[in-house]
Amino acid sequence: MTQLSPLSLYPSPFPRKLFQQAVDVQKAMLLLYFRASCDFAFLKEAHREDYMASENDDGQYELKQVEVNAGAIGCFAIASRFSRLHRRMVSNAGIDASESVMPSDQTDTMVAETLYQAWLEFGNAEAVILFLHGNPNSHLMLESRQIQHQLESISTEGIKCRFITLKEGLNRLSLDPDNFSLILDNKYVVAVAFDRIGVYLPKEEVDLLQITIARSTAIKAPSLALALTHTKRMQQVFTRPGMVEKFFNNPEEAHMAEAIRQVQTKAWAIGDDEDEAEDIIKKATENPQKYVLKSNECSSEVAGNFFNEDIPKQLATMAPADRDFYLLTEKLRPMVVKNHFIRPNMEPALNVDATPELGIFGCLIGNTETGKVSYFSRTGHMMKTKLASVDEGGVWKGYSVSDSPYLV
């Protein structure tokens, strides 16, 4: 079974300084979201991160965070293949393709090594690594198989991997009543549950399965608490004064909080009980081109992002009670480059204006009860580059392609 992925013909230029800034802030960002997931009171009240090079008022480009993702992240198993392909294309064109301009990417190996480390920490040689999927025919399943192959190549213990869908999981997973082990098919103890389900599925069924897994002793990737922190609402909460610093109160970690602050995009809650809601709604209505209206969740039932004149239309018709499900962010002014888009079943788009979005991959293993981190890795990246003429991207919608950075 094969599936063609949309891609750019060549790597897209990206500022070297901003690439390194994105790499350097990754550990701090992972720690922020992990520590927040350990604070139940904070979650009750209230990680692929993606970045754009955005032009500021002085005409200079600066790194700005678009979103933070965890769990069912796409392309991590094939990002390194795009890097190798683009390195070959550039080299064949007689252009420098060394690692100084095209950084090495080992995302698939990083994910496999992290799962292997988690399996070792679980401490049961007979336990399995479980991949949970929503659709058995999706590209995420193909990527999971690639990770399985990586696991087989780096381990000598004969790790067993099992793949099940959401509906299968509801019937095939159970809890041991004595020790709360997660059991598959009344036979296999699950060491690591890797959630690749995604968001476009019946919420009640997803919640039911996630609660079963959350109650178990299996190592969760991600945990339910961590998944709750990876929402646009939490990104907005972290922009408030003191919210990032709350999780870096050790003076030796102050630089981490500052690094996060430098890349944050401005965001505002518009719920009925927010003091600033009416003021920011008024500004967005009068100058919608400066803002993006975003849903706090991605699902088949909730519309995603609204731009330009659609913003005042949505705000005018939105019931006050529905405002809690949305927020406003500043609209970035991304860097525009030229590239060629190669997409399955579509004519190539040649020499088009495009805007690259850099993704930095990182993995962390931690104990949510103690807050202690036992493992951290950051060796992966990729880019999604969309047509500059559209507001909403999407690789599988035909508006974006998988890309690699060429540092300038």
220, 195 contact by CB (below 8 A) = yes
Bind-site residues for ATP: 232, 294-305, 357, 386, 392
Strands 405-407 and 291-295: unpaired
CA atoms within 13 A on the CB side of 225: 20
Q: How far apart are CA 12 and CA 351, in angstroms?
A: 12
SS3 content of the chain, % helix, strand, coil (to 5): 40, 30, 35
246 phi and psi angles, rounded to 5 deg: -55, -30
Strands 349-366 and 337-342: antiparallel
- 372: tokens are 């202690």
Residues contacting 253, CB < 8 A, separation 6+: 28
Hunting for tokens 């719920």 — which residue is that?
A: 271
Hunting for tokens 């493992």 — which residue is that?
A: 375
End-to-end CA distance of the chain: 38
Helix (H) or strand (E) holding 258, with range, is: helix 254-263
- 166: tokens are 């959401």
Bind-site residues: 232, 294-305, 357, 386, 392
The closest alpha carbon to 137, from 293, 2, 306, 283, belongs to 2
